[in-house]
Amino acid sequence: MDNTLTLLGLLGTRPSHGYDLKHSYDRYFGAQKPLAFGQVYATLARLIKNGLILTLGEESGAGPDRKRYEVTEAGRSRLVEWMFTPDIPAATLQSNLFAKTVIALLLGDDAERLLDVQRAEHMSRMRELTAAKRGATLMNVLMCDHALFHIEADLRWIDLTAARLNELREQVRAA
Amino acid sequence: MSTAIATTTVPTPHTAVLLSARGLRVTFGHTEALRGVDLDINTGEVIAVMGPSGSGKSTLLHALAGVIVPDAGTVSYGSTPAETVEICALDETARARLRLTDFGFVFQFGQLLPDLSAIDNVSIPLLLGGMRRKDALRQARTWLGRLGLAEQANQRPTELSGGQAQRVAIARALVTGPRVLFADEPTGSLDSLAAENVMVLLTDVARETGTTVLIITHDARTASYADREIIVRDGRVTAGFALSASVAGS
């Protein structure tokens, strides 16, 4: 998740103080890892330097800081560009797991056990996320669902690979 | 091909073994569906049974529930020595009685009688057990309410959504107060949200009542509602391994 652009997006809803911005972030996205104040102000300084936001002067807000910040036209353009540029689907875990599987086959080691260990770890994490959904807000439920569906996709790859392990073993050894 | 099986090992509060299989073997013609299964299921556990199609999951469930008698092996049922029975040693009538009184069943679809209302469907097991109709309907209504279906009591299965129909089936399976609920792909025909609602209700009710649950599923999200999962491959279930020990030892 890009914290800089997420903060820029939150600021795009209305001009805010850094203190309020941090709490908005935590409410929507910080259930597991709240943002540090230092990170918020460092990000705001960087956004100002890049011309994506500006200060509106000093006013009293809910927190100790006095400055209010507002998104510039350049900032709004950057937000639109960010929102409508698709992310590159990440496949890091599968790539790593694929490498482990091939290496295990090359070494004559137990690749099926390797996949079982990973499956168990994935299922354990899925149970944690499913438990975390109980009584959670809809936003947190959907955040957990996002993670659950991604883990499930990995599991499907694990199951498919486990089912084709003999075939893969022959190809790896023949290569 | 290796026939290993993985089970995750999470600590659970369940201690007393309720169902125990040893050396289960089932053969259909020339096909070995189960090849020596050992398995312990504790009282109150919710277990997901996973594995590839044709691996023996349903056969295992049927053998544990006494629907079929294995060619070899035993299935012990009971949490104390005094009450434990060997299911495989019972005759068909005794096994049918045990299934009616102690076990509940939920399947993927096609299990409700289409000409009966939801409440009549739920009351059937009670009527079969000899309960008066008035009492059976009262209990059925209570269970429908528990599963969020009070307003659908008089609707027929064709008037219910897939998720509602599955909840009726769960109510029917639980209305007799079974100690074990066997569910074969209970969310297999449902969309994600309906499946989630079914699993939340099923596991909530099971944990409230201390019912042991075995759920066959291909769906990892459905399995994530269970306390642990077992994976059947090529008709075998082997002992699970501790993740940390496995990693440390490799």
Domains of chain B with CATH codes: 17-240 (3.40.50.300)
Give ipTM to 2 decimals.
0.76
Instruction: Give the Cβ contact number of residue A81 at 10 Å.
Output: 10
Whole-angstrom Cα distance, residue B217 to residue B189? Answer: 11
Given A83, A116, A141, which residue is the final one in a domain? A83
Q: Pick the residue with more confidence: B37 or B249?
A: B37
Q: Which residue from A110, A123, A129 is facing B223, i.e. has the nearest CB?
A: A123
Q: If you ran DSSP here, which 8-state letter would residue B232 be given? A: -
| A62 confidence band (pLDDT: 50, 70, 90) | low
Chain B contact for A126 (CB, 8 A cutoff): yes
Chain B contact for A150 (CB, 8 A cutoff): no
User: A97 and A76 in one domain?
Assistant: no
| B245 confidence band (pLDDT: 50, 70, 90) | very low
Tokens representing residue B26 in the block: 């089932």
Interface test with A, best of B10, B201, B221, B222 (most A CBs within 10 A): B221
User: A99 and A44 in one domain?
Assistant: no
User: A79 and A96 in one domain?
Assistant: no
Question: Percentage of chain B surpassing pLDDT 70?
Answer: 88
| B2 confidence band (pLDDT: 50, 70, 90) | very low
Write out pLDDT tens, residues B41-72.
999 999 999 988 888 999 999 999 999 999 99
What does the pLDDT average to over B93-112? 89
CB pair distance less than 8 Å for A120 and B8: yes
What does the pLDDT average to over B179-205? 89
Interface test with B, best of A116, A144, A159, A164 (most B CBs within 10 A): A116
CB pair distance less than 8 Å for A166 and B224: no
Task: Give the per-residue pLDDT at A33.
Answer: 82
Chain B contact for A123 (CB, 8 A cutoff): yes
> Residue A25 is part of which domain span?
3-83
User: A44 and A112 in one domain?
Assistant: no
Q: Which helix (H) or strand (E) holds A122?
A: helix A111-133
Q: Output the domain CATH number for residue A70.
A: 1.10.10.10
* Lowest model confidence (mean pLDDT) among A10-19, A42-51, A96-105, B84-93: A96-105
B247 pLDDT above the threshold of 70? no
- Map B73-129 to HEC letters: EEEEECCCCCCCEEHHHCCHHHHHHHHHHHEEEECCCCCCCCCCCHHHHHHHHHHHC
Task: Give the per-residue pLDDT at B249.
Answer: 35
* Lowest model confidence (mean pLDDT) among A157-171, B159-173, B179-193, B228-242: B228-242
CB pair distance less than 8 Å for A120 and B223: no
Task: Give the per-residue pLDDT at A110.
Answer: 85
Task: Give the per-residue pLDDT at B3.
Answer: 37
Contacts for A93 with CB less than 8 Å, ≥ 6 apart: A154
Total count of domains within chain A: 2
Q: Which residue from B1, B229, B241 is facing A123, i.e. has the nearest CB?
A: B229
